[in-house]
Chains A and B, each alone.
Chain A
Amino acid sequence: MKSVRALCCASAFLAAPIYACEGLEIADARVMESPPGASVLAGFATLRNGGDTPITIRRADSPDFSSVEFHSLVRRDGLIRMAVESSLTVPPHGMLAIKSGERHLMLFKPAKDFHAGDRVTIRLFCSTGTREVKMTVEKNG
C-alpha cells in the first residue's frame, strides 16, 4: 500500500477563492522521474469528490511545464492509443484515478530536469476556481 500524501492544499493560490474545487480531495499525487532531457513527464493522482455535485476540472497548467494536458490510454487490437481529454470529471461521492496504464497528466517541456524527491506545482482549474497541487517526483517502477 502506498501512503497517502500530498493531500489537498488549503493555501492554494493567492487569487483563488477559498472554496476552489470544493469537495475535491487529491491523494497520491506524483510525477514519474524521467531520463535527463525528457520532453514530457507523466503525472498521477487519485481524485475524490466528497460533495453532492460532480467536480469538473476544465484545464490545468503549471509554472514548471510549458503546458499540461489530460491524456487517456486506450488499448485496442494490440495498439496503445493516447487520447487527449478536454476535461476530467470526478463524480459525486466518487473518485477518478489518474493512474499508470490508464490516464495521466501529460506534462510538456519541463523547466529543468526533475529528480526523485523534487516537487512540482500543478494548478487545476475547476468551475469554482483554481486548486494548486504539489506533486512529488518519484523513481519509476
Chain B
Amino acid sequence: MIAAVALPLGMLAWREQAERSRTLASGTLLPQPRPVAEFALTGEDGKPFTRAGLLGRWTVIFVGYTHCPDVCPTTLSQLKAAKAKLGADGARLAVLFVSVDPERDTPDHLARYVRYFDKEFRAATGPVDALAALGRQLGFVFIKNPAPEGEGYGIDHSAELMLLDPEARLAGYLTPPFQAETLAADFKMILEKQVAP
C-alpha cells in the first residue's frame, strides 16, 4: 500500500532523471517505458509464469537455452556476480532466464540450471508461439539452427539483456559484451531511481 503511494513520486523523479540521461554504462534506457501485454509461459517450478510474475521488482531478462555452452553460462555468471555486488539491494532485482528451447528445457531442467548460478534466479519457457509473441513485445528473436554435420541443434538468439521496471514495462536494454562491474553500476543506478516495494 505504501509502495502504491510512493510509486508515482518515484516515477516523476525517475522520468526527470531519464530525460537528462538515457544512457547506461552498458546499454540504453527507452525514453518512455513500454507496457508489456499478458503472456503465458511456464516457470521453472512448473507453474504458470505470466506478466504478474514481473510486477513489484525490477527484472533483468536474458534469453537463451541450457544447451548453449558458452554465452549463456557466462552471462548468468556475470549476472550473479553483478547482483552480488549490490549487496542487500540485490534482492530488489529479479533475474529471469527465458529459455527459447522448450523442446529440451523442461521446468525441472531449467530449475537445476538456473539454481546452479543463483538460488534466486528464475526461469521460464513455453510454446514457441508464446515465446515469439513475447519476443515481439520485448524485442528479442531466436532462430533454431539445425547443424546437419553436428549433434542436435543450436539456437541463434538475441544477446541483449532486457530491463523491466516494477510495473512490468520494458525500460531498456543492456548490450554485450558484459562486465560484472558495469552491470552492477547500471543496476545500482536503476534501483536508486526507483523505489521498489
Contacts and interface: CB of A to CB of B under 8 A. Distances in A.
B87 interface: no
B151 A82 contact: no
A106 B131 CA distance: 26
Interface in B18-75: 66-71, 73-74
B69 A41 contact: yes
A123 to B, nearest CB: 18
B143 A79 contact: yes
A82 B159 CA distance: 12
A30 B90 CA distance: 31
B158 A79 contact: yes
A104 B176 contact: no
B73 A39 contact: no
Contacts of A38: 66, 113
Interface stretch (B8-16, B76-84, B164-172, B184-192): B76-84
Contacts, number: 90
Interface residues of B, number: 37
Nearest to B176: A75
Interface string A33-59: 011111111100000000000000000
A112 to B, nearest CB: 15
Which of A80, A84, A104, A106 has the most B CB atoms < 10 Å from its CB?
A80
Contacts of A81: 145, 156
Chain A interface residue number, banded? 20 to 34
A7 interface: no
A82 B72 CA distance: 12
Given A100-B70, A104-B70, A78 B160 contact: yes
A27 B185 CA distance: 34
A69 to B, nearest CB: 5
B19 to A, nearest CB: 26
Contacts of B92: none
B103 interface: no
Contact of A34 (B71, B73, B175): B73
B112 A80 contact: no
7 closest Cβ contacts across the A-B interface?
A: A35-B116, A42-B69, A141-B77, A140-B77, A82-B154, A40-B69, A81-B156
Given A37-B112, A79-B141, 6 more contacts: A37-B109, A79-B158, A79-B159, A104-B69, A106-B150, A141-B80
